[in-house]
Amino acid sequence: MGSFNMPELPEVETIKRQLEKVILGKKIVSVLVNNPKVIKEPSKEKFKKELEGVTIKNIIRKGKALIFELSGGKFLVVHLRMTGQLVYPGSAKQSKVSFKLSDGKSLDYNDRRILGELRVVRDWQSMKFFKQMGPEIYDLSAAEFSKMLCQKKTKIKPLLMDQTFISGVGNLYAAEALFRAKIHPLRSAISLSQKEKKALFLTITETLNEAIKHRGSSVDQYVTLSGKKGNYADYHRVYDRQGEPCVICKSPVKRISLGGRGTYFCGRCQK
């Protein structure tokens, strides 16, 4: 125990798809701010003023971030970080911020640890966070991904989690994709064979796709828009399975700390 999963690409994509079905075209009538710490820009008062009366036109996901395209050329950028949740319809009770919509219901932003970020901007593309963001695995071919790995001497697992390298993969899916590709998390990227690089490209894509299909993984705080848990944790092969038998070879799953993060792998299957 002691593991936590933040929302990664599959979880944020799940929320995005559910939001699209229920809030497009609706108006933000009012904004209740219960904890201003999550509002990074502009100030709390301006934040409310900017949002009241706008219509939600579109929702975009970039890596692990969500961008609400609003009327009036404005954008609401949301990063859930560790424990952020978007819930609709919400009760507003435990929320840090609650958006009251024109349908009389509210969209709640919950965040137990208050590490997430909300901001209203006019040009999200020029934000440093997005300018530095690397491509998603979906934007790449196997050949392009392989080429990117050739130039890197870093350990493969922290590299997969580096959002400026590729975006969307975090601690959980890095572990699962490496297990499926039978690659040890401590290997340097440059040491991978062509065959291993291609396998990794495929397992990242496959793992993310399967997780989206099951509406993400709920190990700790993540919930879907309707407040339900995702089901993909039932399919994890190594993440949070320390000491349990490997699904392939039955030797116990190991856990080490790598770059300050819990790293799960099978010492026998992953070379």
Q: Token pair for residue 217?
A: 């993984």
Report d(CA 120, CA 124) in Å as an integer: 9
Q: Binding to DNA (CB under 7 A): which residues in 118-177?
A: 128-129, 132, 152-155, 158, 161, 163, 170-172
Least gap, CB of 146 to DNA (angstroms) = 16
- In 3D space, the residue among 153, 207, 147, 152 whose CA is nearest the CA of residue 178 turns out to be 207
Report d(CA 98, CA 111) in Å as an integer: 12
Indicate if 261 belongs to the active site. Answer: yes
Report d(CA 78, CA 187) in Å as an integer: 34
Residue among 22, 29, 114, 121 that touches DNA (CB under 7 A): 114
Q: Which three-class secondary structure state does DSSP give residue 7?
A: coil
**CA-derived radius of gyration, the chain:** 19
Catalytic residue among 64, 96, 119, 255, which? Answer: 64
**Using the rule CB under 7 A, is 37 a contact of DNA?**
yes
Closer to DNA at the Cβ: 143 or 150? 150
Q: Token pair for residue 94?
A: 């435990």
Closer to DNA at the Cβ: 106 or 171? 171
Q: Binding to DNA (CB under 7 A): which residues in 198-227?
A: none
Report d(CA 83, CA 115) in Å as an integer: 7
Stretch that binds DNA, among 68-76, 108-116, 206-214, 223-231 (CB under 7 A): 108-116
Q: Which three-class secondary structure state does DSSP give residue 88?
A: coil
Stretch that binds DNA, among 66-74, 111-119, 192-200, 206-214 (CB under 7 A): 111-119
Element (H, E) at 190: none
Q: Which residues form the interface with DNA (CB under 7 A)?
A: 1-6, 37, 63-64, 79, 81-82, 112-115, 128-129, 132, 152-155, 158, 161, 163, 170-172, 188, 257, 259-262
Q: What amino acid positions are annotated as catalytic residues?
A: 7-8, 64, 261
